[in-house]
């Protein structure tokens, strides 16, 4: 019968551990790259939408005032 020596088992387990850590590290690098790319894409779209949100600030303030008045009226009753 062939017996597996402890040194062979340790060698195989070391290779499997290194291989597994390499896969995880590669996945994390790809994940960081994808998140960075998405941040740049979203940044370009948010710059284009800032002009729209600036022009509508006065309208938002009037809506906020109306909601506040409605809540105060509700609390009084």
Distance in angstroms (rounded) separating the CA atoms of residues 5 and 12: 11
pLDDT along the chain (77 residues), means of 10: 81 96 98 95 74 60 87 90
Distance in angstroms (rounded) separating the CA atoms of residues 64 and 70: 10
User: pTM for the whole thing?
Assistant: 0.51
**The predicted structure's pLDDT at residue 46:** 76
Q: In the numeric block, which tokens belong to residue 7?
A: 């040194």
**The predicted structure's pLDDT at residue 20:** 97
Q: In the numeric block, which tokens belong to residue 20?
A: 């597994």
Question: What are the domain boundaries of the chain?
Answer: 6-76
Q: Which residues, in sequence order, are CB contacts of 18 under 8 Å at separation 6+?
A: none
């Amino acid at each position: 019968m062939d017996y597996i020596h402890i040194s062979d088992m340790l060698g195989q387990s070391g290779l499997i551990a290194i291989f597994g850590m390499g896969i995880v590290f590669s996945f994390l690098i790809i994940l960081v790259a994808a998140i960075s790319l998405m941040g740049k894409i979203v940044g370009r779209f948010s710059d284009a939408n800032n002009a729209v949100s600036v022009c509508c600030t006065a309208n938002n303030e009037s809506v906020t005032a109306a909601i506040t008045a409605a809540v105060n009226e509700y609390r009084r009753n």
